[in-house]
């Protein structure tokens, strides 16, 4: 008979692409992971994992076990928290996924503050600009910025966030400013590759109009790291499309200049995605969500 430790161990395997990656996550050797997996399979008399050259895939039985393990472990964690709540204590493990740059700047400080207020709570914060949506339910809260086409997760808006087109004064002095979106085809544009968006299609809406104009850019430079493209723009390498939270300080200081201000880009609200509805949500998740809303409604990047 398998136990809760076996379920937690198998959930870690299910969330990684290989047994070697699982070993790194657990800080153990790959043979240790293989041996423990074999013991679980022997207990169940089932094959749970197909081993390939450099990766693994779950069998149908493995997929079923991973999903049921998620539900069982969530129930166990919630039960533990309910029991602790009798002592007015927030505990358990809060799992958060956030974008890399925004997570470093704004989420990580709130995590340490929140954990400091609740000493029985542990927090796992993963930062990624290319999250694995298939494992979305493995997280209590996912912070998302950008165009969200579809999701089965619950959405809670944390803050409005506009997108701006901008460049450095040095770039403008050398190449001039675009007067219309179509002029961008003659400029050096820089693309940020994130969230599987079509990052070379820039869409504009003239102020006071509902008509959208789309321009396909041919980026001179592209990166999956927002910090890199901002540094390129600051260095005068080209024009970027970037979130208000990231460039507000540089626009205020004059290091960057907003372009095509007579047009609006699609907004990219900062939202929290949650795997459960309000009634089933744990206290640790609800309280952290309250903290996020309290802080971000003030838009600290504009202070």
- The structure tokens listed for 191 are 């693309």
| Number of structural domains the chain divides into | 3
Domain termination site, one of 61, 88, 115: 88
Domain carrying residue 302: 91-161+269-303
Give the count of beta carbons closer than 10 Å to the beta carbon of residue 184.
21
**What is the model's pLDDT at position 130?**
72
Model confidence, pTM? 0.68
Same domain, 3 and 37: yes
Same domain, 30 and 60: yes
Same domain, 157 and 107: yes
Same domain, 78 and 31: yes
- The structure tokens listed for 257 are 């200049």
Q: What is the CATH number of the domain that holds 76?
A: 1.10.10.10
Same domain, 111 and 153: yes
**What is the model's pLDDT at position 294?**
92
Same domain, 99 and 8: no
Same domain, 176 and 292: no
**What is the model's pLDDT at position 295?**
92
Q: What is the rounded CA–CA span in Å between residue 145 and residue 202?
A: 17
Residue 271 phi, psi (nearest 5): -130, 160
Same domain, 280 and 247: no
| Beta bridge partner(s), residue 240 | 166, 190
pLDDT digits 0-9 by tens, 184-199 = 999 999 998 876 667 8
Beta strands in 128-261 (DSSP E): 141-145, 154-159, 163-167, 189-192, 201-206, 212-216, 221-223, 239-243, 257-259
Q: Going from the first residue of the chain to its last (303 residues), give the mean pLDDT of each consecutive group of 10, the final group possibly shorter.
A: 86 88 86 89 88 86 88 76 59 88 93 91 86 66 79 81 94 94 94 78 89 90 91 96 93 96 90 71 85 90 83
Dihedral sign (CA 34, 36, 40, 43): positive
**What is the model's pLDDT at position 243?**
92
> Taking a C-beta distance cutoff of 8 angstroms, is the pair 289, 274 a contact?
yes
Q: What is the CATH number of the domain that holds 137?
A: 3.40.190.10
Q: What is the CATH number of the domain that holds 194?
A: 3.40.190.290
**What is the model's pLDDT at position 86?**
46
Same domain, 275 and 154: yes
């Amino acid at each position: 008979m398998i136990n809760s430790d076996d379920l937690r161990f198998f959930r870690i395997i299910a969330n990684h692409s290989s047994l070697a990656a699982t070993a790194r996550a657990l800080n153990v050797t790959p043979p240790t992971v293989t041996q423990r997996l074999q013991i679980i399979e022997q207990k169940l008399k089932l094959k749970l994992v197909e081993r390939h050259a450099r990766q693994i895939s779950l069998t149908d039985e493995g997929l079923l076990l991973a999903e049921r393990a998620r539900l069982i472990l969530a129930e166990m964690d919630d039960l533990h928290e309910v029991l602790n709540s009798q002592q007015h204590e927030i505990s358990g493990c809060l799992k958060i996924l956030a974008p890399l740059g925004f997570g470093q700047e704004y989420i990580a400080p709130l995590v340490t503050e929140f954990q400091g207020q609740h000493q029985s709570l542990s927090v796992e914060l993963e930062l990624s600009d290319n999250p694995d949506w298939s494992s979305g339910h493995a997280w209590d809260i996912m912070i998302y910025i950008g165009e969200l086409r579809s999701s089965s997760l619950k959405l809670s808006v944390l803050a409005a966030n506009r997108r701006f087109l901008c460049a450095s004064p040095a770039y403008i002095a050398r190449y001039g400013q675009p007067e219309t979106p179509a002029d961008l085809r003659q400029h050096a544009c820089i693309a940020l590759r994130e969230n599987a968006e079509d990052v070379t299609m820039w869409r504009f809406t003239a102020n006071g109009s509902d008509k959208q104009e789309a321009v396909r850019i041919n980026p001179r430079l592209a990166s999956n790291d927002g910090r890199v493209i901002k540094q390129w723009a600051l260095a005068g390498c080209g024009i970027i499309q970037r979130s208000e939270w990231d460039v507000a300080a540089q626009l205020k200081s004059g290091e960057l200049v907003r372009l095509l201000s007579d047009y609006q880009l699609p907004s990219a609200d900062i939202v929290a995605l949650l795997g459960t509805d309000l009634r089933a949500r744990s206290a640790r998740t609800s309280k952290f969500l309250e903290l996020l809303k309290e802080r971000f409604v003030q838009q600290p990047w504009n202070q």
